[in-house]
C-alpha cells in the first residue's frame, strides 16, 4: 500500500501529538506500509482529518525529516526516502560482525558444458577481485554444472592468487574414492596452501538474492529461481535479508557463511549478485572485503 490518503492515515494515528504522529509514521515506514517514494498527505489535509492544528502536523513532518525518513520536495509533496544503505561500520545486529564471506557455486547456465565451466572460472576470478574470502566449488544437479570440483579448482588456482579455495566433498567420497587424497594433495600444492576440503554440511550455507539494484526482469528471474530452491532462498533488499539472517541462530553462531549461487542463473546475473553481496549485503552484516 502506498500514497495513503489523509483519512486512511489518520485512522492509523491514535496519538495526535507531534511526537506520537512521527513515531507511528516511522513504524509504518519500517513495516513498509509506507514504502520508499510513497507520498504522505498534505499537512492541511491530515490536520483536518485528525482535528489538530496545521502546526502539529508540520512539527511531526519536521521530526520525520530529522530522522532521515522523509523529504519535502517542491511541487512533489512529502515523500518517504529509501532506507539508507548500511555500511560495515554501521553494523549493530546481534552477535559479531561477519568475519569471512565465501561463495558456493555448483554451476552456471550456459550454451554447453565447456562454456558453463569457463563462466564458473570467470565468476571465481571476479569474486577474488571483489574481496570474497573464499570460493567453494561443489557438484550440482545441472547437467552443465560441475561434475568434479577438484579439476575445476585446479584451473581456478592458476587464475587466482589470494582467494581461499574449497572443495566440498560428500561423506561417501571420503571413504570410497581412493584417488581423492592424492588429487587433493596435488591441488594443495598448486594452490600454495589456499585449499580447504570441506565435508558437505560443514559450513553455514545460505542462498541470498538481493534485489536492491536489480532490473524488473532480473527481479522476476530471481523470484522464479528462489521459488525452486529446495532449501529456500532469501530475496529482497539487502538490509532486510541481513535482518533475517541475524535472527537465524545457525548463522549468528558462526562468523562466516557461504552464499550459494543457484545453478539456474546465467553468468551476468551471477556477477550482478556478487556485486550486491560485496557492496550491500556483506557490509550490512558487518563484513569488510579483503584488502
Per residue in 92-133, pLDDT tens? 777 789 999 999 998 888 888 889 899 999 999 999 999 999
Strand-pairing partners, residue 256, are 100
Span 127-143, average pLDDT: 86
Span 70-81, average pLDDT: 86
* Cell matching residue 228: 525452486
Segment of 53-62, 65-74, 195-204, 242-251 carrying the highest mean pLDDT: 53-62
pLDDT over 50 (residue 69): yes
End position of a domain, from candidates 61, 80, 99 = 80
**Between these two residues, 248 and 149, which has the higher pLDDT value?**
248
pLDDT at 150: 79
Residues 132 and 274 in one domain: yes
Span 139-143, average pLDDT: 71
Dihedrals phi, psi of 43, to nearest 5 degrees = -55, -45
**Between these two residues, 263 and 65, which has the higher pLDDT value?**
65
Residues 269 and 152 in one domain: yes
Residues 70 and 105 in one domain: no
Residues 119 and 210 in one domain: yes
Span 208-224, average pLDDT: 91
Exposure on the CB side of residue 64, measured as CA atoms within 13 A: 28
Is residue 225 situated within a structural domain? yes
**Between these two residues, 124 and 3, which has the higher pLDDT value?**
124
Question: What is the residue range of 222's domain?
Answer: 89-284
CB atoms within 10 A of CB 120: 28
User: Comparing C-alpha atoms, which of 55, 37, 54 is closest to residue 45?
Assistant: 54
Is residue 48 situated within a structural domain? yes
Span 38-64, average pLDDT: 94
End position of a domain, from candidates 30, 46, 80 = 80
pLDDT over 80 (residue 197): no
Residues 24 and 116 in one domain: no
Average predicted confidence (pLDDT) for the chain:
86
pLDDT at 233: 92
Is residue 289 situated within a structural domain? no
pLDDT at 1: 40
Residues 75 and 204 in one domain: no
End position of a domain, from candidates 47, 80, 113 = 80
Residues 185 and 257 in one domain: yes
276 to each of 193, 249, 252, 256, 271, how far by Cα in Å? Answer: 29, 24, 21, 17, 9
pLDDT at 181: 64
Residues 201 and 277 in one domain: yes
Give the span between the Cα atoms of 92 and 156, in whole angstroms. 36
CB atoms within 10 A of CB 168: 23
What pLDDT band is residue 176 in, cutting at 50, 70 and 90?
very low
Relative to beta strand 134-137, strand 205-206 is unpaired
Residues 144 and 205 in one domain: yes
pLDDT at 199: 63
pLDDT at 41: 93
Give the span between the Cα atoms of 231 and 216, in whole angstroms. 24
Per residue in 245-276, pLDDT tens? 998 888 877 788 999 999 888 999 999 999 99
- In percent, the amount of the chain with pLDDT more than 90 equals 45
Q: 207 in the Ramachandran plot: left (φ > 0), alpha (ψ -120 to 50) or beta? A: beta
pLDDT at 180: 58
Q: CATH number of the domain at 19, please.
A: 1.10.10.10
Amino acid at each position: 500500500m502506498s500514497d495513503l490518503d489523509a483519512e486512511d492515515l489518520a485512522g492509523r494515528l491514535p496519538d495526535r501529538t507531534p511526537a506520537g504522529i512521527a513515531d507511528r509514521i516511522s513504524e509504518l515506514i519500517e513495516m513498509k506500509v509506507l514504502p520508499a517514494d510513497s507520498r504522505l498527505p498534505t499537512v492541511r489535509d491530515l490536520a483536518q482529518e485528525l482535528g489538530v492544528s496545521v502546526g502539529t502536523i508540520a512539527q511531526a513532518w519536521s521530526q520525520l525529516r530529522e530522522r532521515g525518513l522523509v523529504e519535502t520536495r517542491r511541487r512533489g509533496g512529502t515523500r518517504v526516502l529509501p532506507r539508507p544503505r548500511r555500511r560495515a561500520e554501521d553494523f549493530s545486529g546481534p552477535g559479531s560482525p561477519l568475519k569471512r564471506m565465501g561463495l558456493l557455486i555448483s554451476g552456471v547456465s550456459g550454451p554447453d558444458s565447456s562454456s558453463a565451466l569457463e563462466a564458473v572460472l570467470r565468476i571465481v576470478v571476479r569474486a577474488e577481485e571483489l574481496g570474497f574470502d573464499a570460493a567453494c566449488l561443489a557438484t550440482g544437479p545441472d547437467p552443465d554444472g560441475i561434475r568434479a570440483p577438484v579439476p575445476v579448482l585446479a584451473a581456478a588456482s592458476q587464475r587466482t592468487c589470494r582467494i581461499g579455495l574449497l572443495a566440498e566433498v560428500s561423506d561417501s567420497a571420503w571413504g570410497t574414492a581412493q584417488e581423492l587424497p592424492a588429487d587433493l594433495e596435488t591441488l594443495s600444492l598448486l594452490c600454495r596452501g589456499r585449499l580447504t576440503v570441506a565435508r558437505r554440511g560443514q559450513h553455514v550455507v545460505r542462498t541470498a538474492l538481493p534485489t536492491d539494484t536489480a532490473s524488473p526482469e532480473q527481479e522476476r528471474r530471481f523470484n522464479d529461481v528462489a521459488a525452486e530452491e529446495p532449501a529456500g532462498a532469501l530475496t529482497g533488499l539487502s538490509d532486510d535479508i541481513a535482518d533475517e539472517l541475524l535472527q537465524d541462530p545457525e548463522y549468528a553462531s558462526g562468523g562466516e557463511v557461504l552464499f550459494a549461487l543457484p545453478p539456474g542463473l546465467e553468468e551476468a546475473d551471477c556477477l550482478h549478485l556478487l556485486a550486491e553481496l560485496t557492496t550491500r549485503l556483506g557490509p550490512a552484516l558487518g563484513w569488510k572485503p579483503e584488502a
